[in-house]
Amino acid sequence: MSRDEVLRKVRERFAASIVEIVDRSPRRVYLEVQSDALVPVATYLFGELGARFNIASGVDTPTHMEILYHFTIEEIDLLVSVRVKLDRDRPSIDTLSGVIKGANWIEREMHELLGIDFRGHPRLKRLLLPDSWPEGVHPLKQDYREWDTTAVRDRGV
Amino acid sequence: MGHNRRARQGGVMGKTVISIGPFHPLQEEPELFTLTVEGEKVVGIDLHLGYNHRGIEKLSESKTFDQSTFVIERICGICSTSHPFAYTRAVEDVIGVEEPERARYIRTIIAEGERIHSHLLWVGLAGHFLGYNTVYMWVWKLREEILDVMEMLSGNRNNYAMFKPGGVRRDIDPDVIPVALRKIDGILPTLDMLRKAILDDPVLHARLKGVGVLTREEAIAWCAVGPTSRASGVARDVRKDSPYAAYDRVPWKMITAQEGDVFAKAVVRIMELYESVAIVKECLKSLPGGPIDLDLKGVPPGEGIGVHEAPRGEVFHYVRSDGTNRPVRHKVRAPSFMNIPTCTSTVVGESISDASIILASVDPCYCCTERLAVRTPEGRRLYTGPDLVRLSQEQTRRLRKEMGL
């Protein structure tokens, strides 16, 4: 299937859920969908188109919590980033780990670093932060403030 | 056998819980593998990580785009250039530019030189774990030659600091090219000898074939990358699938194997050494002239993604800019993040003496040696790190004896 066909099929199939498609460059497409359509879209990309799930990246913005799920379709050299925007105060979305085993760890990571709830995740426990880290403090959120007054940290330039 | 007797003395006959880590010779960073064993058979595995989480993503967001290049070069000491490679490509993706021709070649040379020494490091340590200390010593001697070449080309044996958004920081001196080529050619006879010794060794066949098999389906389901997936018949390599730098300008082959066992992973890495040697040599010979840097001024608002095939697989960087001089978000995904979870599929059902080589077969870096321990559920120590290495080496010796070698 060519690049145009893939994009056309995705457009047809998920017409009702697509918020925006940004055809950034020959190798990059950003596909924004409503958050409840994430699992079907990912299942289609991963299962039917044979895309590889690279990783997901969560971003905290002033207005919303955003997750980008990156998929590479090697055959046509295309990286599709599926964007979902979540409510910033109570970010929550269905887990992908049932469809893609490789999504298990990154969801745990986003859960602790950004406070996103992944509904249906089999084991949403900490992945990276130490046990001594306080509950409910998410270091990659924009409003994160240093909580440990004794810590010596590099605060940048 | 000795360790069985000790297990009985520990008062445990049924299931035993074995911790590998958090400090462990098989891993790039401290991680804890909790194996549940029945007798010698592994029946369950649980993974914990984060012991060495340094918050580099967060740190990078407080640095300028240029400073970040240096910070992320320190993510890994072995594949130190892979992260800057992916990061600079991500920044270039935000701006919508590509590096000049000469910089493409220099980047490729550094990245492939790194792959050679990284794969050699793995072959050597895999040899050590299996009781082939001669392989270990020979391979590490070869690795020194490559590190010398890297020093000649970049000024550093590791952490080359060659990359910057828009190109490379330093040029390669034309005078060192013939010397570097001679040195690279110099490793080939020994490499050939080692290849034959390793790939034709009947004991290694018996020891590694069919051990720790990662099936093609599992490799895809776990989204494994690099040699870990290519050894399971998944022909994916960023350098071929989405060519960048000089990878589409010089001839080379993607190496794959079908079996998915530890032996297949070793074959893939050893054969990739030859491809990398060919790429470095060809790039050095056909290095084009011209500028090495675009001299970028600032990064506009936007987002970009950079990928690079590191020695362990695809490394992925996502950068978002708001038009200031720092990234507002910098996501880093190293290849081991996708490869380590495959152990869930490969270790269960195997024997404890194979666990160390299977965990090692995805090539998490080797450091922090001798801190591996086997414990009873009550926390009593049964095996130490050296014990598990010894178990693995004994298994090889037993096989050798059985085979009459």
DSSP string for B282-335: HHHHT---S-SB-------SEEEEEEEEETTEEEEEEEEE-SSSSEEEEEEE-H
Q: What is the CATH number of the domain that holds A49?
A: 3.30.460.80
Q: Which amino acid is at B13?
A: M
Considering the domain boundaries, does residue A78 fall inside one?
yes
Measure CB to CB from residue A59 to each of B50, B223, B320 and give the nearest one. Answer: B320
Q: In order of start, what are the domains of chain B with their CATH numbers?
A: 2-51+348-402 (no CATH), 56-333 (1.10.645.10)
Verify whether the Cβ–Cβ distance B64 to A55 is below 8 Å. Answer: no
Residue B373 pLDDT: 35
Distance from CA of B320 to the nearest CA of A (A): 9
Considering the domain boundaries, does residue A146 fall inside one?
no
In this model, does residue B378 exceed pLDDT 60? no
Q: Which of B19, B17, B21, B120 is nearest to B367 (CA)?
A: B21
In this model, does residue A55 exceed pLDDT 50? yes
Q: For residue B53, what pLDDT band results from cuts at 50, 70 and 90? A: confident
In this model, does residue B120 exceed pLDDT 80? yes
Residue positions counted in chain B: 405
Measure CB to CB from residue A55 to each of B49, B303, B316 and give the nearest one. Answer: B316
Q: Is B33 helix (H, G, I), strand (E, B) or coil?
A: strand
Which of B74, B93, B223, B236 would best serve as a mutation to test chain A binding (most A beta carbons within 10 A)? B223
Residue in this structure with the two tokens 């918050």, named with its chain if needed: B55
Mean pLDDT of all residues in chain A?
Answer: 93
Q: Residue A28 sits in which domain range?
A: 3-95
Verify whether the Cβ–Cβ distance A79 to B305 is below 8 Å. Answer: yes
Q: For residue A155, what pLDDT band results from cuts at 50, 70 and 90? A: low
In this model, does residue B367 exceed pLDDT 60? no
Considering the domain boundaries, does residue A133 fall inside one?
no
* pLDDT (mean) for A17-44: 96
Beta-bridge partners for A68: A57, A83
| Among chain B residues, CA nearest to A129 | B50
- How many contacts does A have with B, using Cβ atoms within 8 A? 87
Instruction: Tell me the C-alpha distance between A74 and A77, whole Å.
Output: 5
In this model, does residue B262 exceed pLDDT 50? yes
* Poorest-pLDDT segment among A93-107, A123-137, B37-51, B204-218: B37-51
Instruction: Tell me the C-alpha distance between B333 and B328, whole Å.
Output: 17
Residue B13 pLDDT: 53
Considering the domain boundaries, does residue A74 fall inside one?
yes
In this model, does residue A136 exceed pLDDT 60? yes
Verify whether the Cβ–Cβ distance B59 to A79 is below 8 Å. Answer: no
Considering the domain boundaries, does residue A64 fall inside one?
yes
The structural domain count of chain A equals: 1
Considering the domain boundaries, does residue A115 fall inside one?
no
Beta-bridge partners for B34: B19, B46
Considering the domain boundaries, does residue A67 fall inside one?
yes
Residue B177 pLDDT: 96
- Is the ipTM of this structure higher than 0.85? yes
Q: What residues of chain A lie within 8 A of the CB of B326, using their CB? A: 156-157
